[in-house]
Chains A and B, each alone.
Chain A
Amino acid sequence: MKKFTRVSAIAASLALGTSMAIGVTASHAAGTTLTMIAADYPGDGSTQQAQWTDFATRFHAANPDITVNVTVKSWNDIDQYVATQIAAGKTPDVVNKGDYSAPAAAGLLYPASQMVSASTLADILPTFLNNSKYNGTVYALPDLASARALFYNKDLLTKAGVTKLPTTWSQLYTVLGQIHRKLPGVYGYALPLGPEEAQAEFNIWAGGNGGQYYDYATSKWVLNSAANVATATYLKSLVSKGYTEPNPDKCDRTACAQALFAAGKAVFINGSVFLGSWLKSNGGAKINFGTGSFVSNTGHKAVTLGVQDYFTAYKANGNQAAIQKWMDFIFQPANYAKFLVAAGGFIPATKSAGAKAASDPALAPFIKLLPNAVFYPGDIASWNAVKGQIQQGIGQAVTGNPNSVLNSLQTQAAAAK
């Protein structure tokens, strides 16, 4: 018995020693392996996998001691996938998706100053960096941004006899009424308050009435503010008149609102930078559309919604040096331009690329609207949770009772961790 124990102990220690030795040699030979999880931007059926594989291959050629594995995930799956990887102890090194505040609050992230070199950081537009802070420290790098504009179907407007674009809520109400009378079967405004992107749609309308989701002055969620209730009440009046599609609380952006616009069944729609190219590949190539500024309530400025996404770097694997090399590589102007092309026509987050984009006819109208952009309160740790609640619930504020729906959302937001 004793002998057996001793033998097995020796065997075990030998095995351990060997494996440690192998481990050491292996890490010398293979160097660092970075894992990255990236959201897939293109909405036209292509994917960014090829672009990321190309980046990883060229990066490895230039830095033989660093291997990068990029996993590309759809926007529907990525939040869940990243959370599952972290919970399973397989924390990625770099993530590219739409939020950063929760991991920043949990202390999982490197600050931006450690993610890239000082010169790369200096090239990133300050507006976007300002939206990437948690408790005053920049914890994420903006990868790109988008803005919204009011898209309208020119042919339908002509048919309805509308000659002047509305700029205020009351003018819009009149114009939509005129469309309703002249063009049966056509909805004046496609209002996507279904779960897919209700938070964006409502944010733009509320912004045009001086409303917002979060009040930085008092550090409180203000979902049921008087301005927001008035916004919901105004939208409810459009819905009940039949100026929008029926059941806006069930209408998702892509499958419902954009599809109606592509089919020539909606005159106005809130569209992102990529709506033009989306229409081409989704049966709306013939739509003769124009873009303009959103409407606002009298006495308020019209706003647009700016949305930016982020690169974040996790501390768990301690690969800070390798991460910095990789991120600097991504932000090299030539590579960054390729990233933007693969993603499909977004607004760049760097000064060098931004200068070029300003002369791009597809992007110029959006860049012009950017100074009046409002952003999501993405730096608040509970934003992701509150966003989910808004997406589920806010549609019912325009089909049901605006007051009670917004009050209920406010209660839930205040309770969100």
Chain B
Amino acid sequence: MTAMQPAVGASTSSDMTINLGPQHPSTHGVLRLMVALDGEYVKSCRPVIGYLHRGLERMMAARPYRQSVPFTDRLDYCASLNSNLAISQAIERIGGMAVPERAQYLRVMLCEMNRIASHLIFFGTYAADIGATTAFLYAFRERERLLDLLEAYTGARLTYNWIRPGGVASDMPEGYAQAVCAFLDGFLKELDAYDTLLTKNPIFRVRTEGVGIISPEKAIAHGASGPVLRGSGVNIDLRRTEPYDAYPRMQFDVPVRTEGDCLARYLVRVEEMRQSARIIRQCLREMPEGEHWGKQPKVFRPAAGEAYSRTESPRGELSIYLVSDGTANPVRVRVRGPSFVHLSMLHELVRGVKVADMIAILGSLDTVLGEVDR
């Protein structure tokens, strides 16, 4: 490069540094991006996180194991049940608890319902990031119906604290299966319409196709997971590769796209909603009778050791690692959130793109700051 062309990332007097956030319409939470712009082009971007850091890991480590479940609600607040599942599994593994079969089905059903709710948020906010405001409201209408259903079962709309070590807090209310089926019938029809609104829109396509391409090698080396990894053509879904709970008995497809661009990640998530609906129906159909709650010790003191769970949250691999020293409180609770890892890729993806593309790429990673900052 000559002296007239400064290297990418090098700062010149024509650069403009913008702080995108922590208050900005499209950072989806309190994320701050320090962006150096050359006109419309992004020269460098440094995410600044931690605005939502509450020390959840330390707080969980300061209490008995089973009291840490409510904290996980505050990790990925768009999909609390999936976080509940991750911590419950880790605690069950370290304490050697068994989960009754019916509870396993109930868990899978709840997690998939939450996955749909979470992907609907993605669908809506992504459309808003690209500039289409109407899809946002449609997505939230469906999510509202879903949250009503979850509220009818768990009593909460966002922080459920419902999947607990040993099972789920209680069995389904009467007539719940019919209500869920009725919702799914309507939802799948609506989803096709919403999908058409965006997917068949040429402007949406030119904004997302070929933008923010992540190669499969790069996705793996950066530890990407979930739809980001599958959008890059890597067929890894922990519900398949390391199945847990009732997932081994479920028939579903893992959507994979090879393009690796924003559109691929979007399409993977939309297809996952359909597959989630399929899994929920199977759960309701095949759910055995029985207990929703396994036998549990009164005082929970697992032997010294370590255990971890790996679960497929809507955003990717959510894994929780527990270290026990034989006392009632864990030594360390470690939460590995997918959003944290995806956000760490952002600065490489946005280098040299335009501002609008940066927003599109950030949106397609679908980060939740509660999980990033913990």
Same complex for A and B? Answer no
The chain A residues found within 8 Å of chain B, CB to CB, are none
B residues lining the A interface (CB < 8 Å): none
